[in-house]
Structure 1
Amino acid sequence: MTVKIFLVIIMVVLLGACNSEPATDSPEKVKEVLVGYFKGIENTDFEKMFNVTTNDFVLFENGQVWNNDSLINYIKSVKNMKAVFAFDDFKITMGNSIANMSYVNRGSFVIDDTLTQEIIWIESATFVKQEGVWKMDFLHSTIKK
């Protein structure tokens, strides 16, 4: 009788282990990466932008292919500009080491303390987990019409 109970317990444990999927991170983790990237843009904290992206990060911006260096060069070329970004309508799917996100990005820009412009983008991004840390590896941005 004891051997039968032992075998049943082992089978239950083994079956449970076979059917369980490894836990994934919360979608908030990749949201933090995205928001951190745009906070880097807002604060011209270029180190932050590099820290939350992969080495081969690519940005598709209205038909152009950019990377962090080209975006930073553009930011440096625009003098006296302040930017603030707000996000909504997040849709996020996650696996163990990859995540996909779509969302709406609302940007407000003030140039020379006088000229204000607001732009709404429809964006999507992909993320990979590298050495236990989520990083953005791709961002696609299209101006909403």
Structure 2
Amino acid sequence: MIRSFFAILFTLIAINAQAAEKPEGFKTIDGLFAALSNLDHQAMRDGVSDDFILLEHGEVWDIEDLIAVMKPKPSKLERINYFSIINFEERENLLTINYWTKSIFKSEDGNKEAVWLESAIVKKIDGKWLVAQLHSTRLPAEKFPKDVQFEQQVL
């Protein structure tokens, strides 16, 4: 009986610890990447604030710039995203978060992998979390982190 109690207690603590690793506002970032994978331009627009800015590997983009590069490919391309949260600070209506993103692009020509070091500012506007800023630095293959534990995005 006591063993069962401690087993249940340990399980609840483990579940809460896992939940604490991913703040509520991260769902919006997750949704934005799902929209990127699905080439869903409206969902991309819906997940960002009106003043959204993307700092993409040395360039300044808005949501329309991002959408402009997210066009259907001639061959079937599948994008699978993975994340690893480094740290975050969440306040009442503001989330700042730093994380790794890895994407595997599967196509008829084979698989390619890309990794980015990213940070984001997510704001709660009218009760909804929206990405206000995303800073993304693409890494060359030789600089991919070896010790990062990535978690696959569930679409």
TM more than 0.5: yes
- Report whether the alignment pairs 1:83 with 2:79: yes
Q: Larger Rg: 1 or 2? A: 1
1:55 is matched with 50
Secondary structure of the equivalent of 1:42?
A: helix
Matched, 1:35 2:30: yes
1:121 and 2:142 matched = no
Superposition TM-score, scaled by structure 2 size: 0.70
Identity of counterpart residues, as a percentage? 26
Equivalent in the alignment of 1:130: 125
Distance in 2, Cα, partners of 1:84 & 1:66: 23
Query: Take 1:78 and 1:56, find their aligned partners in 2: how far apart are those partners?
Result: 28
Gapped runs of 5+ residues in structure 2? Answer: 1-19, 144-155
Tell me the matched-pair count: 119
Using a 3 Å threshold, how does the CA distance of structure 1 residues 67 and 79 change in structure 2: closer, same or farther?
farther
Q: Which runs of 5+ in 1 are unaligned?
A: 1-25
Q: TM-score, normalised by structure 1?
A: 0.75
Range with bigger deviation, 84-93 or 69-78: 69-78
Deviations 1:109-136 (A, max 9, x none): 134x223210111100001110111111
Secondary structure of the corresponding residue to residue 102 of structure 1: strand
Structure 1's consecutive aligned runs of 4 or more residues displaced over 6 angstroms after TM superposition are none
Displacement, 1:46?
1.1
